[in-house]
Amino acid sequence: MMRIRVDMDLCQGHAVCKEEAPAVFAVDATSNRVVVLAERPDESLRAEVRRAVKFCPTRAIRLEED
Amino acid sequence: MSAAPEVPGTVAPAPAAAQRGKAPPRLRGEWPLVGHLQELRRRPIELFARVRRECGEIGELNFAGSRVVLLSGEEAQEAFFRGSDEQLDQAAAYPFMTPIFGRGVLFDATPEQRKQGLRNQSLRDSFMRGHAEVIAAETQRMMAKLGDEGAVDLLDFFSELTLYTSSACLVGKGFREELTPEYFRVFYELEKGTDAIAYVNPYLPLPAFRQRDRARRRLVELLSGVFARRASAPREKRELFDVLLSLRQPDGSARFSVDQITGMFISMMFAGHHTTSGTAAWTLIELLRHPDAGARVVAELDALYADGREVSYQALREIPQLESAIKEALRLHPPLILLMRKVMSDFHYKEWTVPAGKLVAVSPAISNRMPECFPDPDRYDLDRYAEGREEDARLFAWIPFGAGRHRCVGAAFAMMQLKAIFSTLLRDYAFELAQPAESYRNDHSKMVVQLAQPCRARYRRRAAAASP
């Protein structure tokens, strides 16, 4: 199963993940950092989650399998 | 404070060691009073390499009384980049910038105010497509001015081009139309005013500092004229600075002076101007020094644009060979060679402690060539970034943009900008070096690195341009 890990020291709130996978990521307006809506997203979202990981400008997101 | 918001999946930062450790070793070769300052002004990269060679991953330098502890190696650099704002402060570390930005701008702000500044809306992903269109058009305009064949000085050419592209994207198109080549020359004088002797005193009566102050006064004068002309512009044509200038205090006086707006303009441009301009020049120089790589990039662009698609579309997508060429230029010739922070509360790393008051630093120029992370580090090799190797994925080693929460917020904009510029240039023009390949080099005598002149290249319009 997919598990999303975010390194908050790296996130700058560019919101690319939100554009790629809106069901999984949001950006908090106050902290300007990512909010993970689904830490273990559904398998059907795999392609867009991978794009979010790949195109994150600060490479703050990791995808683990367990 | 390490109060990262509680978010599922957050990686917790490692707790810092509590007790006080040893003082970092000092680098030999200090002169009375000035310490290592002269070596910094003559051969900075060699000086930083000497710290790593003679002291190891941590070693202390002396810039005329400012004590700077240089950290190197992936692990030590990670500790640096993960430091919180409250422990490691950026603002106090760059005394040579204050006279350039002026008072009340950027580095006077509190960490909280600076965090707000990160949200420059024009850098958001959703604006990128419009920016790409502007950049492609500006590049064509520059080339139209130059004609089908000739030679350019790469420093002047890319400085002028990136001044137009950055101001059009970040300030506004109306404002950009007011700019002339005099502006990039003024910026060049400001950038040359970053002599490290500022560690002694940034207001010494030296030629570089006098030129810096004259250039800044000239910029205020030029912008006063611009704003006076634009004051009569219709409301819907108003852009960022027009709005800021129209703001009033409760007593009716202006919220910002032209001097302060000039400071904001300088600080906005400074981050993205000489850095992008230098990277563009080095991307081109290295492609011309390595004709195989150059041919690969041109073939890739020809194939991508063969169907007549727009640069504004493609520059936001993947152009793997060109991206590798930009990344390799950034790795070998990072525009910033020393990133610094002021230690606000004792900074512990392994058995060492750097006490509050000193500076800590990391050098991208050293890190980007560490052989344990970049095999055969001096070799220009586009395949470093190919799938399977991805040497730029070493976040705390491949650091031309820095890393961590202060990583360059304009990095994605810069990559897109360089892709748009080279898509346009290499599709329509062929370039060649106009002087011996090894004669191109950086001038490291100032803290802002610039290409040393002369740095000329020839261009001619390609016979079978791919555009329809």
pLDDT at site B36: 97
Distances, alpha carbon B148 to alpha carbons B158, B310, B433, in Å: 18, 22, 17
Range of the domain at B248: 120-335+368-461
ipTM passes above 0.95: no
Q: Give CA A14 to chain center in angstroms.
A: 11
End-to-end Cα spacing for chain A? 5
What confidence tens digit (pLDDT) does each residue in A17-64 have?
998 999 999 999 888 889 999 999 999 999 999 999 988 888 899 999
Amino acid present at A52:
A
Q: Are A6 and B11 a contacting pair at CB < 8 A?
A: yes
Residue of chain A minimizing CA distance to B414: A57
- Looking at residue B410, its pLDDT comes to 87
* 3-class DSSP state of A46: helix
Cα A58 to Cα B363, B409, B410: the distances in Å are 19, 9, 11
Instruction: Tell me if B125 and A16 make a contact (CB, 8 A cut-off).
Output: yes
Residues A52/A24, Cβ–Cβ less than 8 Å: yes
Residue B167, domain member (yes or no):
yes
Query: Is B30 among the domain residues?
Result: no
- What is chain B's pLDDT, residue by residue, as a tens digit (468 residues)? 333 333 444 444 444 445 789 999 999 999 999 999 999 999 999 999 999 999 999 999 999 999 999 999 999 999 999 998 889 988 777 878 888 887 655 544 444 544 444 445 666 666 788 899 999 999 999 999 999 999 999 999 999 999 999 999 988 899 999 999 999 889 889 988 999 898 888 999 999 999 999 999 999 999 999 888 888 777 778 888 888 888 888 888 888 888 888 888 888 888 888 999 999 999 999 999 999 999 999 999 999 999 888 888 787 788 999 999 999 999 999 999 999 999 999 999 999 999 999 999 999 999 999 999 999 999 999 999 999 999 999 999 999 999 998 888 889 899 999 999 999 999 999 999 999 999 999 999 998 899 999 999 999 999 864 444
Q: What is the enclosing helix (H) or strand (E) of B63?
A: strand B58-63
What is the 3-class SS of B69-123, one letter each residue? EEECCHHHHHHHHHCCCCCEECHHHCHHHHHHHCCCCHHHCCHHHHHHHCCCHHH
Query: For residue A64, what is the nearest residue in chain B, using CA coordinates?
Result: B9
What pLDDT shows up at residue B260?
85
Residue of chain B minimizing CA distance to A13: B119
Q: Is residue B65 part of a domain?
A: no
Residues of B with CB under 8 A from a CB of A: 4-5, 7-11, 13, 81-82, 115, 118-119, 123-126, 393, 395, 403-405, 407, 409, 411-412
User: A6 to chain B: which residues are within 8 Å by CB?
Assistant: 7, 9-11
pTM value is: 0.89
Q: Does the distance separating the beta carbons of B82 and A9 come in below 8 Å?
A: yes
Q: Please give the pLDDT value at position B122.
A: 64
What pLDDT is recorded for position B247? 85
Provide the pairing of β-strand B429-433 with B442-443: unpaired
Query: Which chain B residues touch A35 with a CB distance below 8 Å?
Result: 7
Q: Does residue B434 fall inside a structural domain? A: yes
CA distance B171 to B223: 13
Domains: count for chain B: 1
Q: What's the pLDDT at B268?
A: 81
The answer to whether the Cβ–Cβ distance between B404 and A9 falls below 8 Å is yes
Shortest Cα–Cα distance, A15 to chain B (Å): 7
The CATH number linked to B182 is 1.10.630.10
Tell me which residue in B11, B118, B393 faces A32 most closely, judged by beta carbons: B118
B4, B81, B395 member nearest A59 (Cβ):
B395
Pairing type for strands B359-362 and B66-71 reads: parallel
β B442-443/A25-27 pair status? unpaired
pLDDT of residue B134: 94
Residues on chain A bordering chain B, Cβ-to-Cβ distance under 8 angstroms: 3-16, 19, 28, 31-36, 39, 57-59
Domain A2-65 in CATH 3.30.70.20? The answer is yes
Which sequence spans correspond to the domains of chain A? 2-65
Of B5, B393, B403, the CB nearest to A31: B5
Which candidate from A16, A36, A58 shows the least CB-CB separation from B407? A58
Q: Do A36 and B7 touch (CB under 8 A)?
A: yes
| Smallest Cα distance from A39 to chain B, Å | 6
Pairs of CB atoms within 8 A across A/B: 65
The position carrying tokens 């662009």 is B301
Tell me if B14 is assigned to some domain.
no
Q: Which of B143, B413, B102 is nearest to B261 (CA)?
A: B102
- Residue among B78, B125, B396 with most chain A CBs within 10 A, to mutate: B125
Query: Which of B112, B405, B415 has the highest number of chain A CBs within 10 A, making it the mutation to test binding with A?
Result: B405
- Closest residue in chain A to residue B412, using alpha carbons only: A57
Chain A residues with CB inside 8 Å of B6's CB? none
Residue of B nearest to A14 (CA): B124
Q: Is there a domain that residue B363 lies in?
A: no
Residues of chain B found within 8 Å of residue A39, distances taken between Cβ atoms: 8-9
With contacts defined as CB-CB under 8 Å, which chain A residues touch B125? 14-16, 19
Measured between CA atoms, how close is A47 to chain B, in angstroms? 17
Please report the pLDDT score of residue A66 as a whole number.
Answer: 82
> Which of A1, A2, A4, A9 is the best substitution to test chain B (most B C-beta atoms within 10 A)?
A9
Predicted pLDDT at B430: 97
Of B124, B125, B405, the CB nearest to A9: B405
